[in-house]
Chains A and B, each alone.
Chain A
């Protein structure tokens, strides 16, 4: 089977995940170590990506930054997907009043200028990695909820569900074992896309100073410094941004590949 998107996306995503996991082994320097003799040093053999204005090695900071960015992406999407699956399957399965209340709520959430809400929340609840994961997750579950609800509505009167009920399976078992697995394809596609947008969102928040706080390196907050080094140190602008771009690209490819595979 030829599915180039899936292969390339999988390969690139795996690469970034490995980099994040093995960060302490592959990064050439300590990401917070200050070297006063190498302030704003351009890329060279000793510092492949150059150094920042405190003399910290940029490559090491980007490698460690991948840990923060990827884990925020994954955890936020896990929160969003679990919440969406729960809400959506309850709404679809029990229908009636519960369904209409829940779907109204989904409508409200979809009408929110999500980014404004996230900014406001992060600002009032002190920006920390955990808060960012939570707030990105809790504002990104609506798509999954709609998806799973529609799927369950179309499946719940089919014979295999009646059969499951006849042999005495509980509602929870029917939902988790028989209904959700049938919708796993679209949910997975949605989740992969969600990882990409969560990483993008995190980098934006950190860039605005409302995300991951220094000295913890994240791709977004490394870029804060580039505002003051424009025209002086191109490497500080180019490399962290490229890291974001390629990561997002890999997850978008992956989701495109999954879409082809499942649909």
Chain B
């Protein structure tokens, strides 16, 4: 087991190098420099000043030198300073993290709590009414642009009905509320974003659970279990479910990129100060250090998601471990 994990960890090193190199090259080959934005906004900035700025930010050195500099600082968790306000990038990201992580964890939990029972119910009732209705809903959800759904719900619940606040995560009088009031206030603000973020994952995971469960129910050991007279409940929840739920473990890890992409949308629509919105702002300002840090952060999360998926899969299913050892 340990050697399996070690091997997987080692495999991450070249992946990580590759990812950082590609994103570094792409971003730095762009025609516009951040210093040219500064110049465009202020015509009095002369070429000389611009050269000075380039020097301060290290933009005058060859690309590979810039990359090595950047990477060696990265290993010390120093992501440089933001071009925009000069604050350390790591600080900016850290202060935005908690909101995004909270919302994502809640919606992940929600996705799995709801999707697994739905998937099971669909599989058990394959091609009956419940399954058919869910299938239609899943198809529609897959085709729905997240931001459009967010706009529709905002129009209905926040403006027409006035039940929920339009944006942000706190009301103006948040600081004066009792602890319970604070909790209620925040939940009110977060209901829509969490719903919007969860829906796509819910559709995907329940679909996956359904097909995994249908596969499991067709295995010969299910026939055996039924033939020996086990009650149907036991056949489904003990024999089939245990095998069907394995592949779902991997989905947690694999759903991370989708959640990150979703964060950019729902955070900019609902004006939530998280890392998705920070990334959007960084992109609009061509804040290279911040963009790089966010891409790296996203890639690291994705890689670890994959890693956790593989390891938990190996823990749960001995066949994977042993196959790995034979190689």
A interface residue numbers (CB < 8 A to B): 104-105, 107-108, 111-117, 119-121, 123-126, 196, 200, 203-204, 207-210, 220, 223, 226-227, 230-231, 234, 237-238, 240-241, 244-246, 248-249, 252-253
A119 touches B151 (CB 8 A): no
A-B pairs, top 4 by smallest CB distance, nearest first, are A113-B298, A124-B30, A231-B159, A115-B261
Which residues of B are found within 8 Å of A238, using beta-carbon distances? Answer: 152
B155–A230 touching, CB < 8 Å: yes
Q: Which residues of A contact B154 (CB under 8 A)?
A: 230
Selecting from B85-93, B217-225, B280-288, the interface stretch reads B280-288
Does B4 sit within 8 A of A, measured CB to CB? Answer: no
Closest to B254 in A: A110
Complex Cα spacing A234 to B31, Å: 40
A115 touches B257 (CB 8 A): yes
In the bound complex, do residue B152 and residue A241 qualify as a contact, i.e. CB atoms below 8 Å apart? Answer: yes
Selected from B22, B143, B265, the residue in CB contact (under 8 A) with A108 is B22
Contact at B283–A119, with CB atoms within 8 Å? yes
Query: Provided the pairs A111-B302, A116-B260, A252-B139 are in contact, do residues A230 and B280 lie with their beta carbons within 8 angstroms?
Result: no
Cα(A141)–Cα(B158), bound, Å = 40
A227 to B282, CA, bound (A): 21
Of B26, B30, B257, B268, which contacts A114 at CB under 8 A?
Answer: B257
Q: Is A125 a contact partner of B31 (Cβ separation < 8 A)?
A: yes
In the complex, chain A residues whose CB is within 8 Å of the CB of B301: 113
B124 contacts A by Cβ under 8 Å = no
CB atoms of A245 and B144 under 8 A apart: yes
24 residue pairs A–B, Cβ–Cβ below 8 Å = A105-B18, A108-B18, A108-B19, A111-B15, A112-B23, A113-B261, A115-B257, A117-B23, A119-B280, A120-B291, A123-B283, A125-B31, A207-B145, A208-B265, A210-B283, A223-B151, A230-B154, A231-B155, A231-B160, A234-B155, A237-B148, A237-B152, A248-B143, A249-B143
Q: Does B310 lie at the interface of the complex (its beta carbon under 8 Å from any beta carbon of A)?
A: no
Residue of B nearest to A124 (CB): B30
Please report which residues of chain B, range 252-309, place their CB below 8 angstroms from some CB of chain A when the two chains form the complex.
Answer: 257, 260-261, 264-265, 268-269, 279-280, 283-284, 286, 291, 294-295, 298-299, 301-303, 306
How many Å from the CB of B202 to the closest CB on chain A?
17
> Are the C-beta atoms of B26 and A121 separated by less than 8 Å?
yes
Q: What is the distance, in angstroms, from B33's C-beta to the closest C-beta of chain A? A: 10
Q: Quick one: which of A108, A113, A246 has the most chain B CB within 10 A?
A: A113
Chain A: interface secondary structure? helix
Q: In the complex, which residues of chain A have a beta carbon less than 8 angstroms from the beta carbon of B152?
A: 237-238, 241
Chain B minimum-CB-distance residue to A115 = B261
A112, A119, A200, A249: the one within 8 Å of B299 (CB): A112
Partner of A112, one of B14, B143, B291, B302: B302
A223→B148 contact, CB < 8 A:
yes
In the complex, which residues of chain B have a beta carbon less than 8 angstroms from the beta carbon of A248?
Answer: 142-145
Decide if A111 touches B306 in the complex (CB within 8 Å): yes
Q: Check A113 against B295 for contact (C-beta < 8 Å).
A: yes
State whether the Cβ of B140 lies closer than 8 Å to any Cβ in chain A: yes
Q: Tell me which of B22, B31, B264, B294 contacts A208 (CB under 8 A).
A: B264
B32 at the A interface (CB under 8 A): yes
Query: Is B195 located at the chain interface by the 8 A CB criterion?
Result: no
Contact B145 A244 (CB under 8 A): yes
B230 at the interface (CB under 8 A from A): no
With beta carbons under 8 angstroms apart, the residue of B27, B268, B291, B299 that contacts A111 is B299
CA distance A121 to B158 in the complex (A): 34
Q: Assess the A116–B294 pair: CB atoms within 8 A.
A: yes
Q: When the two chains form the complex, which single residue of A115, A124, A226, A253 contacts B286, counting CB atoms closer than 8 Å?
A: A124
Q: How far is the CA of A116 from the CA of B279 in the complex (A)?
A: 8
- Structural contact, A123 and B264, CB atoms closer than 8 A: no
**Interface assignment of B147: CB less than 8 Å from any CB of chain A:** yes
Question: Given contacts A111-B306, A249-B140, is CB(A203)–CB(B299) below 8 Å?
Answer: no
Flag if A117 contacts B268 (CB, 8 Å).
Answer: no
CB of A123 within 8 A of CB of B155, answer: no
Min CB distance B236 to A, Å, is 27
User: Known: A117-B295, A124-B30, A124-B32. Contact between A245 and B148, CB under 8 A?
Assistant: yes
Whether A252 and B151, one on each chain, are in contact in the complex, defined by CB atoms closer than 8 angstroms, is: no
Q: Could you give, for residues 19-39 of chain B, a 1 whenever the CB lies within 8 Å of some chain A CB and a 0 otherwise?
A: 100110011001110000000
Given contacts A111-B19, A113-B261, A208-B264, contact A241 B27 (CB under 8 A): no
In the complex, what's the smallest C-beta–C-beta distance from B48 to chain A, in angstroms? 25
A204 touches B19 (CB 8 A): no
User: Which residues from chain B contact A252 at a C-beta distance below 8 Å?
Assistant: 139, 142-143
Least distance between A233 CB and chain B CB atoms (Å)? 10
Q: Name the residue of chain B whose CB is nearest to the CB of A118.
A: B261
Contact A124 B27 (CB under 8 A): yes
Give chain A nearest CB distance to B165 CB in angstroms.
13
CB nearest neighbor in A for B283: A123
With a cutoff of 8 Å between Cβ atoms, the chain B residues found around residue A227 in the complex are 151, 269
A196 near B143: Cβ-Cβ < 8 Å: yes
- What's the nearest-Cβ distance from chain A to residue B1, in Å? 23
Set of chain B residues within 8 Å of A237, measured between Cβ atoms:
148, 151-152, 155
B283 CB, nearest partner CB in chain A, Å: 4
Q: Which residues of A contact B15 (CB under 8 A)?
A: 107-108, 111
**Shortest Cβ distance from A119 into B: residue:** B283
